[in-house]
Amino acid sequence: MRPAIDPFYAIAISRRAHELKQQGRSIIHMEFGQPSTGAPAAAIARAHQVLDSDGMGYWESEPLKQRIARYYRDRHGVEIGTERIFLTNGASPALVLALQSLFDPGARIAIARPGYVAYRNVTRALHMEPIEIDCGPDTHFQLSATALTALAPAPDGVILSSPANPTGSVIPAEELTAIARLCRDRGVRIISDEIYHGLSYVGPLPTALSVADDAIILNSFSKYYSMAGWRLGWMIVPEALIPTTRALIGNLFLTPPSLAQHAALVAFDCTEELEGHVATYRRNRDLMLNALPMLGLTRIAPPDGAFYIYADIGHLTDDSLAFCGRLLEDTGVATAPGLDFDPVNGHRFIRFSFAVSTAEVEDALSRITPWFAERTKDACTAPA
């Protein structure tokens, strides 16, 4: 029997946003976690050179794998052999590979709720069982060692995400250490999604490899490196899983785009340009955090990293999907309904992505401020 997979509701919002744009409407895209900037200029220049000189084909760049290994050594003090590094067509296939490399059908995988929609749906698609743990303000919207300890029996695996989607919350270093110790003691395998590393507003973040060498790490060039459309990511696996992962990736995905690999090797060292993007996100975050409480959105998850604001709109609606649809139609601002990230409580949450230009954030706030004011007034005057 095929498992039931929930739709990705933000895709429907985005589709309608593009329809409205084709009709001549001015649209601000805050529905996806996708940088509005392109790949670094030097990476694009390198891609042009490769297009003129290389026929390309199935290829896995050893120089890029070596550069990734150097990144972990320089940034985190962790030594990794390049044979443990696999290049993937973005982080999404890496998630599939990680789950299939580690677990059999029927495995129980712990995930945070709210959390990225694909964690739940890909786990189900692979005939595994997602064990969702409700994570709210009391746990910083993150998984904790205490919450994992309470699961009986212990899950087979856990997916960590720090910074997290949709909240931007992070797992403190000491908590990450406690989670790793607990997982080691209970035989729980760790998959750590570190796709938003580099996008932190609270200082450097540790990799799970620093506390659990047998963890599988997922990362990508889509977010910090601003290369979402190039479809390139990587995963790091423990030595024991190298043969299994190699067999799976060869049969399921072959190799990622050669052009993207050439460009990514250059992108790794475009630090000044990339940190400029982070500075923009920081300004956008500050604008949003200053403005949203004046719109009545006072219950907000802590956006310590990534580029999201996850806000409670329960005082205005119990249907976040319809709410986001109306917001788009009336203002041209596209957002993501919380229902994507939390099937239990997400009907009263909305996610804004501030991975756009500062001018677009300012424009979006000017559009939605009177819209929210009108709805707040209606909510206050509605009969009890």
Q: What is the pLDDT of residues 237-284, one digit of tens each?
A: 999 999 999 999 999 999 999 999 999 999 999 999 999 999 999 999
* Euclidean distance between CA atoms 306 and 196, whole angstroms: 5
Across the beta sheet with 108-113, the strand order is 85-88, 233-236, 216-220, 189-193, 157-161, 108-113, 129-134
pLDDT of the residue at 384: 52
CA-to-CA separations, 10 to 221, 282, 335, 343, 350, in angstroms, rounded: 22, 24, 7, 14, 11
**pLDDT tens digits, residue range 222-233?**
999 999 999 999
pLDDT at 46 over 60: yes
Residue ranges and CATH numbers for the domains of the chain are 9-38+271-376 (3.40.640.10), 56-267 (3.40.640.10)
Q: Measure the CA–CA gap between 336 and 310, rounded to whole angstroms.
A: 9
**Res 86: pLDDT:** 97
Residue 381 pLDDT > 80: no
- In 3-state terms, what secondary structure has residue 135? coil
pLDDT of residue 136 exceeding 80: yes
Mean pLDDT over the full length of the chain: 95
- Rounded to two decimals, the pTM is 0.94
Cα dist. 366→28, 125, 263, 292, 297 in Å? Answer: 12, 41, 37, 11, 15
The token pair that represents 296 in the structure block: 């009545």
Q: What is the reported pLDDT for 257?
A: 94
Residue 383 has pLDDT above 60, yes or no: no
pLDDT band at 97, cuts 50/70/90?
Answer: very high
The model's pLDDT over 166-179, given as tens digits with 9 standing for 90+, comes to 999 999 999 999 99
| CA–CA gap between residue 296 and residue 369 (Å, rounded) | 10
- For residues 304 and 170, is the Cβ–Cβ distance under 8 A? yes
Which of the residue ranges 260-269, 315-324, 371-380 would you say has the lowest mean pLDDT? 371-380
Strand order in the sheet with 308-312: 308-312, 349-353, 336-337
**Pair 313, 327: CB distance under 8 Å:** no
What average pLDDT does range 306-321 have in this prediction? 96
pLDDT for 379: 65
Does the structure show a pLDDT above 70 at 378? no
Q: What is the pLDDT of residue 380?
A: 62
Q: Is the pLDDT of residue 211 over 70?
A: yes
CB 263 within 8 A of CB 227: yes
Residue with tokens 């739940």, as numbered in its chain:
120
- Are 357 and 23 in contact by the 8 Å Cβ rule? The answer is no
> How do residues 50-94 score in pLDDT, each as one tens digit?
999 887 888 899 999 999 999 999 999 999 999 999 999 999 999
